Structure 1
Amino acid sequence: MLILQNISYVHLNKDLLFQHISLTIQNNQKIALIGNNGSGKSTLLKIIAGELKPASGTLQCDEKPYYIPQIFGQFNHLTVAEALKVHTKITALNAIINGSINEKDYNDLDDDWTIEERCSSALSYWGLQNILLSQKMESLSGGQKTKVFLAGIQIHQPALILLDEPSNHLDSAARNKLYGFINDTSASFIVVSHDRTLLNAFDTIAELTANGINNYGGNYEFYTAQKAIENNARLQSLEETEKAIRKAREKERETLERQQRLDNRGKKKAEKAGVAKIMMNTLRNNAEQSTSKLKSVHTEKIGGLNQDLMDKRAALPDIDKMKIGFNHSSLHKGKILFSATGINVEYNGRSVWKKSIDVEINSGERLALKGDNGSGKTTLINIITGKIKPATGKVFNAINKWFYIDQDYSLIENTLNIYEQAQKYNTANLQEHEIKIRLNRFLFDKTTWDKSCQSLSGGERMRLMLCCITLSDVAPDLLIFDEPTNNLDIQNIDILTKAINEYEGSLIVVSHDEYFLDDIRINKVIQL
């Protein structure tokens, strides 16, 4: 159905994105395409969809792919019918119903007399029965926009479907419907996603790197097990190289000491024998040359081992290079941090919740805050952080310090560079070199300290935000994350998970990613 051979892509600035990409998709095959941010996953989907041309290589596709890109508001100017690419047929059908005998209308409809019914049925399947085909996409939420395009699969019945982060804007119920839909649909799929529940539904994981695609014949859990084996082998090889360097340095020291003893012994013998001064100079020069030659041999060997060590360290996943080191909250576990009884909030004379709610948060608890859009999650967070006061009920709040971190990590200021951003959160009054040590721990080396925060990827913004939290003089009692995994690749989700699991204070997370919630050991759910 689809064959890619030695595909390469070069950016407009002549930078190579990837090369030697080869991939084959058979009928009814479902593949998950993964890779770090910036590896080119979305670009590869656009090449397959025909929206971009590769720099080299060949592409053969027997079917026209149905492509759903990431939704960023780029379709807001279209109607639902235009986004679904059915507007021409719908316009023709309505004209014919109203009496048109224009040949163009009949050609445009192409005998597709059921198009309107199929659209209605598909939209209803995704819970969009109240959405009109004439409605502007800008009037829809992110989740509704995604569902519109998913409905297009049922309308057009494509044999090959390309999905780029399809679950990003979907709530839990819609995600579960998506999982079932992909499983039940006989079409071939290539899906780019960081949703690990979705990735577990595929029987092939294709990992995209700069130099090709590595295929793993199993679901995501199989992939992670294989990667763990590969990574353990890398770590073991790294340790062996470090041992070899220590041995080589010890050998160098012993050899040079032995050579020096031999040279000294020879010198004393020559002095006792009354060797002429010119001969003594010759002997000394020979000894120095011999020592220099030995040093050169050992230096070359150690240099080669050091380069090997650097290469092996560079090949390690970022998570194995990071040192996080959160300070811990001084609050003992189980202390009541926040409690609210019978609270409600009114907007324009209407209550947010049909019934007033009670909430209690204890120190050390790890809570998931769940609810549909409009259920009041943000309102409750604003009450907990003291930004708003409820219209009714009583509130007790003992939270000393908190951080609210949204999915865009917008506490990062785009007008600052990386070092300036870190310095802004340096309430512990650390010296400049200490701040830079912290930045290094979060994988920001000296070449990045002057880099503008505006140019940072989602993963980089996340790491910088975590670094800023560690620069505080007082550990936060509460961290609040709002959909923190939406703009992260899998590797950065693993880094975030590790960081959260090192944090011992209280935690509130708003997320539809059940896999992530399990990994960070959520032990309480507030359902709104």
Structure 2
Amino acid sequence: MLIAQHIGYTHPGKSILFSDLNFSLASGSKVALIGHNGSGKSTVLRLISNELALTTGQITTESSPFYVPQLLGQYNHLTVAAIFGVEKQLRAYYAILDGDATEENLLLLDDDWTLEERCLNALAHWDLGHLGIFSLLENCSGGEKTKIFLAAMSFQKPSFILLDEPSNHLDSSSRAKLAQFIKSTACTLLLVSHDRQLLDLMDETWVLSATGMAIFGGNYSFYAEQQSLADAALEQSIQHGEKALRKAKEKERATLVRQQKQDARGKKKQEKAGVARIMMNTMRNSAEKSTSKTQAVHHDKVNGMSRTLTELRMARPDSSKMRFGFANSALHRGKVLVDAQAINIQFDAHDLWPAPLSLQIKSGDRIVLKGENGSGKTTFIQLLLGNLNAYTGSIARQLTHALYIDQDYSLLESNLTVYEQAQSTNDANIEEHQVKTRLDQFLFAQESWSKKVDVLSGGEKMRLALCCLTLKNTTADLLILDEPTNNLDIHSVEILTRAVAEFPGTLLVVSHDQTFIEEIGMESEFLLSKNDR
């Protein structure tokens, strides 16, 4: 189905993204492609789909792939029919129905009288029946845009499919449909995703890194298990190395002390025996040379072991190097923080929700906010925070400090540097060197402290936001996360999962990532219904 030989890609700015990659994809295989943000996963898909030109090497495919991209804004000027690839044919079809049965229109339609029906069926399957076939993508939500591409995939029935973060922005029911499609299809699939449920449906896992492409013959859980075993073995090697280094240093000190005592006893013995001064000098020089040689041997051994141990520590996965240490909330568990009673809001003179909503959030609660695309989850959050006014009902708040982290991490100030952003949230008045140590713990090395926030990747912004949380004097009364795993790589999702699981305060989370929800220990859910009007 696909063979890639010695492929490489260099950015227009002349920086090399990767080089000399070799891989092949057998017909009917299902492969997950993972790696850190910036490793080039999306670029690989774009190279295979011919959206980008190779710098080196060649890619051979048996058929053109259908590509579902991650970023969809560049298609805003297109219609649904154009994404389906049949805009001209459909316009000819409608023209013929209107009596304009020209030869040109008949040739375009080519007797495909079921074309409209098949398009509408594909849209309906992905819950897009409300869209017109000539609707522009610019008028659609992020979830709807993704589903338009998935509907086009259902319509075209390709044999080879490239999926780049297809579950981003999808609600739970659409994610379930996507998972069912992946399970049942006989197509060849290459999937880039951080969605661990989708990754576990794949037969192989490819890991793209600066050193090349590593291939594991199993799904993501198999890969994670292998990595866990490797990490455990590495940690054991580090512990053995630390123990051996301590023993070597103790032996070095003991040997030096013993040598010094022997030299001192020998000198006293020589003085008592009346050995001539010239002979004593010769014997002292010989003793010093022997001591120096012994020291050099032990010093070289200790240095060698230290270098090996440093290399082992550097090989530790990044997530194991991070320390969170969130402060505990001063609030007693069970205090009512937000009490919303019978609230609703109107858009275009219509209620957003079919019935008024009531929700009480208490200190210590961990609540998942769920609902289909378009059900108003973000609007509901803005109401709870007081950034919007309810049309009906009332909201009482007892919040000292609520923190809202959306999927774009807009709480970070784009014009600040990494260090300035950290200092701006340092209300605990931690000393400068401690702030820098904290940044280092969150994988921001010294050379990155002067980087502007607006050039950081999604994973880097997530780590910086978490770092800022740990610099706060007290934990937020309420932490709200709105689709926090969107646009993160799998490694960053694991870091975020561990951090949120350790967070001791009150949580309200919007997420369709069921694995993430389960692993952060959410205790209840609140479901929003969509008002289909």
TM-score, normalisation: structure 2: 0.91
Matching residue of 2:379: 379
The match for 1:229 is 229
Equivalence for 2:338: 338
Cα pair distance change 1:150/1:346, threshold 3 Å: closer
State the Cα deviation string for residues 184-211 of structure 1 (Å, max 9, x = none): 2211100100011111222222222222
Return closer, same or farther for 1:176/1:423 CA change in 2, 3 Å cut-off: same
Rounded Cα–Cα distance in structure 2 between residues aligned with 1:3 and 1:116: 36
1:249 CA drift (Å) = 1.2
The answer as to whether partners of 1:122 and 1:152 remain within 8 angstroms in 2 is: yes
Partner of 2:134: 134
Q: Which residues of structure 1 form unaligned runs of 5+?
A: none
Conserved in 1, the CA contact under 8 Å of 2:173 and 2:372? no
Partner of 2:250: 250
- Note the 1:303-318 alignment, pairs <5 A: 303-318=303-318
| Corresponding position: 1:357 with 2:350 | no
Tell me what 1:208 maps to: 208
Q: CA deviation at 1:77?
A: 2.1
Question: What is the CA–CA distance in structure 1 between the aligned matches of 2:79 and 2:391, rounded to whole Å?
Answer: 40
SS of corresponding position for 1:504:
coil
- 1:100 aligns with 102
**Structure 1: how far apart are the matches of 2:500 and 2:44?**
32
| CA distance in structure 2 between the partners assigned to 1:430 and 1:212 by the alignment | 41
Equivalent pair of 2:207/2:214 in contact (CA under 8 Å): yes
CA deviations over 1:9-52 (Å, ceiling 9, x no partner): 34344444334533222221111111121221111112222233
Offset at 1:162? 0.5
Which stretch shifts more, 373-382 or 22-31?
373-382
SS of the residue aligned with 1:129?
Answer: coil
Give the counterpart letter for 2:367 in structure 1.
L
Partner residue in 2 for 1:64: 64
Shift of 1:296: 2.8
CA drift of 1:298 comes to: 2.5
Asked whether the 8 Å contact 1:166–1:193 carries over to 2, the reply is yes
Corresponding position: 1:438 with 2:438: yes
Structure 1 residue 159: Cα displacement: 1.3
Specify the code of the residue in structure 1 equivalent to 2:386. G
2:423 matched to which residue of 1?
423
Give the aligned residue type for 2:48.
Answer: I
**Which residue number corresponds to residue 531 of structure 2?**
none
Which aligned pairs between 1:250-289 and structure 2 lie closer than 5 A? Answer: 250-275=250-275, 277-289=277-289
Partner of 2:473: helix, strand, or coil? coil
Alignment correspondent of 1:150: 150
**Change over 3 Å in CA distance of 1:430–1:12 after alignment to 2:** same
- Structure 1 residue 132: Cα displacement: 3.2
Pairs aligned (count) = 526
Instruction: Measure, in 2, the Cα distance between the counterparts of 1:366 and 1:178.
Output: 28
Larger deviation: 494-503 or 208-217?
208-217
**Conserved in 2, the CA contact under 8 Å of 1:142 and 1:169?**
yes
Give the whole-Å Cα distance in 1 for the aligned partners of 2:349 and 2:227. Answer: 55
Deviation at 1:68, TM superposition (A): 1.4
CA distance in 2, matches of 1:280, 1:197: 80
3-state SS of the aligned residue for 1:498? helix
Q: How far did 1:174 drift?
A: 1.0
Residue 482 (structure 1) aligns with: 482
Distance 2:134 2:236 in 1: 61
- AA partner of residue 483 (structure 1): E
What is the rounded CA distance, in whole Å, between the counterparts of 1:23 and 1:309 in structure 2? 34
SS in 2 for 1:447: helix
Per the alignment, in what secondary structure is the counterpart of residue 67 of structure 2? strand
- Alpha-carbon deviation of 1:341? 2.3
| Stretch moving more, 489-498 or 347-356 | 347-356
Q: Deviation digits for residues 369-417 of structure 1, max 9, x if unmatched? A: 1123343323332232233443433433222211100001111111111
Residue identity matched to 1:352 = L
Tell me the secondary structure at the aligned position of residue 261 of structure 1: helix
**How big is each residue's C-alpha offset from its partner over 1:318-342, in whole Å with a ceiling of 9 and x where there is no partner?**
2211110000112222222222222
Computed over aligned residues only, the root mean square deviation of the Cα atoms, in angstroms, reads 2.5
Q: Does the 8 A contact of 2:337 with 2:399 survive in 1?
A: yes
**Aligned pair in 2 of structure 1 residues 393, 265: CA closer, same or farther (>3 Å)?**
same
Secondary structure at 1:74 match in 2 = helix
% identical equivalent positions: 49
- Kindly indicate whether the alpha-carbon contact (under 8 Å) linking 1:408 and 1:487 is maintained by their aligned counterparts in 2: no
Give 5+ residue unaligned stretches, structure 2.
529-533
* Superposed CA offset, 1:71-114 (max 9, x none): 24111122333333333444565677733335x983x6677665
Q: CA 1:422–1:288 in structure 2 vs 1: closer, same or farther (change >3 Å)?
A: same
CA distance in 1, matches of 2:142, 2:44: 23
Q: Aligned letter for 1:32?
A: A
Is contact 1:21–1:211 with CA below 8 Å preserved after alignment? no
Q: Which moved more, 1:311-320 or 1:269-278?
A: 269-278
Matches within 5 A, 1:57-206: 57-90=57-90, 98-102=100-104, 106=107, 114-206=114-206
Distance in structure 1 (CA, Å) of the matches to 2:370 and 2:335: 23
The residue type paired with residue 156 of structure 1 is Q
* 8 A contact 1:478–1:507 mirrored in 2: yes
Instruction: Name the residue aligned to 1:319.
Output: 319
